[in-house]
Amino acid sequence: MSLADLSRYEFARPASLDAACRLLSDREKKGARTVLLAGGTDFMVQVSQGGAAEGPLPLVLDVSRIKELACVSFDGTTLRIGAGVSYLELQRDPVVREYAPLVARMTQDIGGPTIQGRGTLGGNLATASPAADGVAAIAAYDPVIEVKSSRGTRKIPIAVLQTGYKQTSRAADEVIVAVEFRAPAHGSAWCWRKVGTRLAQAISKVAFAGVAEVHDGRVTRVGFAMASVAATTALLPNTRELVRLTPLAQLTAAAVDAAVASDVSPQDDVRSTRDYRMHTAKAVVRGFLRDLGAPV
């Protein structure tokens, strides 16, 4: 896609979140298509591949300057990240670095500086690619996703937001506003592993995010998420349950591998093979658990 192609689209830039919601509501009632644009890193690829050119061209709603989407805050318990905050801003934000270091670390592996400076967590959540590193990292914290429309505001658990391959439960007239989650105890263990052709500027073959609180040899809070191993970001529920219910000293490699295998369904594609992804998924989970003290 060239800059000249952008002239084919009608653009609108609402001044506030409420204005954006009103415009979306009006267009939804008319059955008119609208694309929300923040960083544009996914939209530009979609258009260049012809995915946005079917039927009448949509209105492009630029939400990149809406202040309500650009904030990071922490109230002592809950970390809130605005959907329009760029990955570079997340990387540098002192609150994110202290209370969600996994997220700050992940941002270093998302493309180059240009992509990091434009891409947003809200965009990744809306696009719902199962290979999205940002979604995997945030999903390990078991967040809720706040969405807003002219009908009101609701909060959607990450597991409910994902409904299928590149599909979400967000309605067409809703804007993703922010991600919220309870911050782990200070000093809790975390892990970020991106396995790809290159460390950055490559789509992950497998990406793994893990967060854990450990007390007296038991894991009292755990979050796992994995990219590129299923039709959606994989939350590894069986592996989480195994780790929560079993003392670390009693975990075995066989039990962990079986749980991981039951939680993922990788496929062959141009980037990797099913067998390699399955092997890697098991290996990265066991590596994190070894760091916690498990003999796996």
Please report, for the chain, how many H helices and E strands are present, in that order.
12, 13
Residue 4 pLDDT > 60: no
Beginning with the edge strand found earlier in the chain, give each strand of the sheet holding 11-12 in spatial order: 11-12, 59-62, 34-37
The whole-number pLDDT of residue 57 equals: 82
* Greater model confidence, 229 or 44: 229
Residue 1 pLDDT > 60: no
- The DSSP call for residue 50 is T
Look at residues 178, 175, 179, 176 and name the one whose alpha carbon lies nearest to residue 21: 175
Distance CA 245, CA 222 (A): 11
Question: 55 pLDDT band (50/70/90 cuts)?
Answer: low
Mean pLDDT over each residue of the chain, to the nearest integer: 92
Q: Which residues contact 134 (CB under 8 A, 6 or more apart)?
A: 87, 106, 107, 110, 119, 121, 124, 125
pLDDT single digits (tens) 103-153: 999 999 987 888 888 899 999 999 999 999 999 999 999 999 999 999 999
The whole-number pLDDT of residue 118 equals: 86
The token pair that represents 105 in the structure block:
């670390």
- The DSSP call for residue 83 is T
| Sole residue written with tokens 């590129």 | 228
The token pair that represents 140 in the structure block:
């390990």
CA angle 295, 208, 96 (to 5 degrees): 110
Question: 223 pLDDT band (50/70/90 cuts)?
Answer: very high
Distance CA 229, CA 265 (A): 6
Contact between 193 and 159 (Cβ < 8 Å): no
Residue 98 pLDDT > 80: yes
Q: What is the mean pLDDT of residues 224-230?
A: 97
- pTM for this model (two decimals): 0.91
Distance CA 258, CA 251 (A): 12
Show the domains of the chain with their CATH numbers: 3-62 (no CATH), 67-182 (3.30.465.10), 189-292 (3.30.390.50)
Residue 43 pLDDT > 90: no
Pairing of strands 34-37, 59-62: parallel
Give percent of the chain with pLDDT exceeding 70. Answer: 91
Distance CA 186, CA 172 (A): 38
Distance CA 149, CA 19 (A): 10
